[in-house]
Structure 1
Amino acid sequence: MEEDLSAHRVPRSRPRPTALVAALALAAGLVVTSTTAQSADAAAPAAVKAVPATIPLTLTNNSGRGDQVHVYVIGTELSSGRQGWADASGAFHPWPAGGNPPTPAPDASIPGPANGQAKTIQLPKFSGRVYFSYGQKLVFKLTTGGLVQPAVQNPSDPNANILFNWTEYTLNDSGLWINSTQVDMFSAPYAVGVKLPNGTTKTTGHLKPGGYNAFFNSLRNQPGGWAGLIRTRADGTVLRALAPGHGIEAGALPASVMNDYVNRVWAKYAAEPLTVTPFADQPSIKYVGRVSGNTMNFTNTSGAVVTSFQKPDSDSIFGCYKLLDAPNDLVRGPISRTLCAGYNRSTLLTNPNQPDTSNANFYKDAVTNHYSRHIHAQMADGKAYGFAFDDVGAHESLVHDGDPRQAYITLDPFN
């Protein structure tokens, strides 16, 4: 889980959204475990259908900006496992060998649509990303280990002053999964969609009217250092808000920002049990956590200790990794995903039975993931990937269909 969606080398990576992990694992014939089993369950019946090698992807530019848009389709070709990029026709091009120091990657850009226009390209069977940038092309480089993707938490990254964003997707024989992600940053607004065989379209990712500015204004006014996540260009252009884990890495957010909440959780569950039921469709599978010293031990229904977690720091919570690592297994991963969601949404103190999947209970504590809170508050459908396991309880901004006819990315207004 400690890899990015397209399996490329990145300076620092976040766990993949579990629905996309499920899609990739299904393609490889692996056992899938997820806090939201519906993605895997929905994909399984579609495996008998012949999803074509490519499907149309229509990009519509409603941004209101006059900048030239540059589009990139990069990822892992699922039929071969090779990493590379696709051109507008969906043809695959493997990356050449990289170097040390990194060497420039081939120009994989596709000219995007002008404001008020649309353009259709072909989306291949990748586990990958579709990047889009405004005004400038992105800088990609290759090392001996593969592609180095943008890491904008690093101010010296060559893409740090470029306005851009990306969607993550998997297209395989079980269908299409495509998301609107804020796991790493909140930036240029966009929505995604998939056209079903009956002609209807599922969409997600649109902000409420005025939601873009409302998000940044809310973050600016959030006490505790959260305004430090906002990045602007020298000319005053707002570029993005870093996700809080990247903000800690960049020194923009205090590393102790979640400590008070963690301390209270630790005190509570030293005195009483925390029950985790990680699979909604398997209510008999339960694990009970109790704190002893610096360790939270989880036992199964037989009383045997199955896994243990050390007291997490803020970065582990926001990134759902390190001290909250979530391997794709049947025990530790599902428990960790549940804890990660509970910490980010601050539901662990109010509900000793996790996961708490009611968004009416989320982000109520003064100490919480305010970045994710403000994102969800501005989404038209309330759904987002504000952190890696925002799919716990199906609150993620992802659409899927087992027999997709077309994919959509809509570049939305900056207002």
Structure 2
Amino acid sequence: MPSPRSLHARPSRRLALALLSPLAVVAALVARSPTVHAAPATATASVPATIPLTVKNDSRRTEPVYLYNLGTELSTGRQGWADAAGVFHPWPAGGSVPVPAPDAAIPGPAAGQSLTIRMPKFSGRVYFSYGQKLVFKVATGGLVQPAVQNPSDPNRNILFNWSEYTLNDSGLWINSTQVDMFSVPYAVGVKRPDGSVAGTGRLRAGGYRGFFDALRGQPGGWAGLIQTRGDGTVLRALAPGHGIEAGALPRDVMAGYIDRVWAKYAGETLTVTPFADRPSLTYYGRVSGDTMNFTDGSGTVVTSFRKPDSDSVFGCYKLLDAPNDQVRGPISRTLCAGYNRSTLLANPHQPDTSAAGFYQDSVTNHYSRKIHAQMADGKAYGFAFDDVGAHESLVHDGNPQQAYLTLDPLD
């Protein structure tokens, strides 16, 4: 079924507004988020105004933990934050110069303990940080969020991460995400009406250290994505698009693969069937010069893409922009998945949804590849459209009884 664009708004990746600035404005909480699939318009369950979220601290870390529940109130469209009781508080008006936001921190559970707060009907993020509170500011465009690819970001040396969710009348969607960075591990879950719990986001045993070790060993500059602080603590690995922005990854890191794709489809046809439930709806791509044109069954050109660069591929934006429509967006998300997973040369019929064929080329999104390899269930949001073929780390229920977020050890 069509996507509602994501928890928040969806990634054109990334409303470009944000991520070249020192901090990201959440008018695009939004912008860099993975896709959350829409529920049917007719909800069969009555979802209450808030549901419990139990945060369990299995991290084995001794620092205090701070929680933040930030997002957009679905009934009004206002941006704000929710307190521990799930009560919504709108952000005050900001100015052209960002000003400090109200302190929205909720003291989190100590190591080995749990804390239950309430989640309102939001499209937003649950941040958690270790040892220090995060710095948020308010600008004219909305909330200013961490953008740690910028060395001057005040959150640069804080150990933190976030989960993303939408709770509405049709249920809860909650995910773990690595679209922006891979950092302190956590798992998410939802309790169903029958008492069972569906979960995702958990790493394999040793997966946290295993990921960083694997990234350090990857030739081609990929180790440059890893950020540490002065005391030697590994803080995170930037997603490759942010790495390019920060000068930590070569700008042409995907160029060899993109060039080969361009050459192949100058002489062959790339067939894209973007909707699994509409197998007869097919588009046909051919390269002509600097442009890949897609036609429908009648031969009419329906959309065209210029040859993308590496950043466009990693971000699924710019030259691979994916508007929330029924033609260009679905074709773009298919191309984005094919580039990141390096399946476009091996299979001229896309999307290729079999994980066995992913990341087999030497030029690929090694960041996403190594994340998936360390996940207990193989699922992750290694890039914005990792949900193509249902390989994303997302759980959903139409009548959620409770949500869970477990802070896992850094092993």
**For the superposition of Structure 1 and Structure 2, which TM-score range results when normalised by the shorter chain?**
over 0.9
State the shift of 1:145 in Å. 1.6
Secondary structure class of the residue paired with 2:43: helix
Residue 35 of structure 2 aligns with an amino acid whose one-letter code is: T
Alignment partner for residue 411 of structure 1, among 391, 407, 411?
A: 407
Match for residue 16 of structure 1? 33
Aligned residues of 2:32 and 2:180 also touching (Cα < 8 A): no
SS at match of 2:66: strand
User: Which residue does the alignment assign to 1:245?
Assistant: 241
> Which whole-Å CA distance do the structure 1 matches of 2:104 and 2:32 have between them?
25
* Residue deviations 1:154-200 (CA, integer Å, cap 9, x gap): 11000000000000100000000000000000001000000000000
Q: How far apart, CA to CA, are the structure 2 residues paired with 1:287 and 1:368? A: 24
* Structure 1 segment 14-413 matched on structure 2, within 5 A: 14-19=31-36, 39-40=37-38, 43-44=39-40, 47-413=43-409
- The question of whether the paired residues in 1 share the 8 Å contact of 2:67 and 2:108 is answered with yes
SS at match of 2:212: helix
- In 1: Cα distance, 2:238 partner to 2:7 partner: 18
What residue number does 1:25 align with? Answer: none
What does residue 23 of structure 2 align with?
A: none
Q: Distance in 2 between matches of 1:146 and 1:256?
A: 33
| Distance across 2 between alignment mates of 1:11 and 1:192 | 27
Identical amino acids, percent of aligned pairs: 76
User: Aligned in 2, Cα 1:346/1:118: closer, same or farther, shift over 3 Å?
Assistant: same
Separation in structure 1 between the aligned mates of residue 175 and residue 63 of structure 2, nearest angstrom? 24
Q: Distance in 1 between matches of 2:359 and 2:42?
A: 36
State whether residues 189 and 405 of structure 2, in contact with CA within 8 Å, keep that contact through their aligned partners in structure 1: yes
| SS of match in other structure, 1:48 | coil
Amino acid at match of 1:159: N
Give the whole-Å Cα distance in 2 for the aligned partners of 1:180 and 1:163.
16
The answer for unaligned runs of 5 or more in structure 2 is 20-27
Structure 1: gaps (5+ residues) = 20-38
Query: Does the CA-based 8 Å contact 1:4-1:15 persist in structure 2?
Result: no
SS in 2 for 1:344: helix
Task: State the SS of the aligned residue for 1:47.
Answer: coil
Question: TM-score, with normalisation over the residues of structure 1?
Answer: 0.93
Contact map agreement 1:64 1:115 (CA 8 A) in 2: yes
User: How many residues in Structure 1 have an aligned counterpart in Structure 2?
Assistant: 393
2:22 maps to what in 1? none
Q: Distance in 1 between matches of 2:96 and 2:361?
A: 47
Output the amino acid matched with 1:11. Answer: A
How far, CA to CA, are the matches of 2:42 and 2:183 in structure 1?
A: 34
CA shift at 1:265, angstroms?
Answer: 0.3
Question: Which whole-Å CA distance do the structure 2 matches of 1:155 and 1:138 have between them?
Answer: 15
Q: State the alpha-carbon separation in 1 of the partners of residues 90 and 193 from structure 2.
A: 32
- Partner Cα separation in structure 1 for residue 295 and residue 149 of structure 2: 38
Aligned to 1:30: none
Structure 2 letter corresponding to 1:394: A
Letter in 1 for 2:286: R
Deviations 1:183-228 (A, max 9, x none): 0000010000000000000000000000000000000010000000
Contact in 2 for aligned 1:46/1:402 (Cα 8 Å):
no
SS of the residue corresponding to residue 388 of structure 1 reads coil
Instruction: Give the conservation status (yes or no) of the 8 Å contact 1:15–1:321.
Output: no
* CA shift in 2, pair 1:4/1:275, >3 Å: closer
Cα RMSD for the two superposed structures: 1.5
User: What is the Cα deviation at residue 47 of structure 1?
Assistant: 1.2
Q: Supply the distance in 1 between the matched residues of 2:65 and 2:34 (Cα, whole angstroms).
A: 27
Once the two structures are superposed, residues 372-401 of structure 1 have per-residue CA deviations (whole angstroms, 9 ceiling, x without a partner) of 000000000000000000000000000000
Instruction: Confirm or deny: 8 A CA contact 1:75 1:126 kept in the other structure.
Output: yes
